[in-house]
Amino acid sequence: MAIVNVQLSFNNVNVSAQIGDSVYYTTGGSSTGGFNNADVANTVFLGIIIFIGDDNIVVQYDDNISTPPPIFSYISFAKNKAVNTTSLLGYYAHVKLVNESDCEIELFSVGSEIVESSK
């Protein structure tokens, strides 16, 4: 069992990605009508994110269980459920809405999903 690190490069790393998230890759996709399609059966767990840069992530994996993704694989990630169990936590929120348009606009709705932290 050898633990190996692999660096995956992107134009931009998804801002939702966090250290500790699970990384998956999917191979064997096809393009139909402008959409890329792949079978979920071709999705493979790669490993865990251990570093995030501006245009790359480093994933740690066990090379006895997984291999690096082939070129042109679709890369996805899943949040760590032990850490990300709810929405935003806290006691205070400050929101400022600004209309930077020259035209008058109408705001239809504003909503939030905030859970108060334990006291």
Looking at every residue in the chain, the average pLDDT score rounds to 85
Percent of the chain with pLDDT over 70: 87
Given a contact cutoff of 8 angstroms between Cβ atoms, the answer to whether 40 and 96 are in contact is no
State mean pLDDT over 106-118.
Answer: 77
**Which domain does 27 fall in, by range?**
3-78
pLDDT level of residue 82 (50, 70, 90 thresholds): confident
15 backbone φψ class: left, alpha, beta (φ>0; ψ -120 to 50): alpha
Q: Which residue has the higher pLDDT, 7 or 66?
A: 7
pLDDT at 42 over 90: no
Question: Does some domain include residue 118?
Answer: no
Question: Does some domain include residue 23?
Answer: yes
Question: Does some domain include residue 83?
Answer: no
What pLDDT does residue 86 have?
63
pLDDT at 10 over 60: yes
- Count structural domains, the chain: 1
Question: Does some domain include residue 111?
Answer: no
Question: Does some domain include residue 68?
Answer: yes
pLDDT at 23 over 90: yes
Cα-based angle 103, 113, 20 (whole degrees, multiple of 5): 110
pLDDT at 24 over 90: yes
Question: Does some domain include residue 37?
Answer: yes
Virtual CA dihedral for 17, 20, 26, 27, nearest 10 degrees? 110
pLDDT at 79 over 60: yes
State mean pLDDT over 91-110.
Answer: 85
Question: Does some domain include residue 99?
Answer: no
pLDDT level of residue 41 (50, 70, 90 thresholds): confident
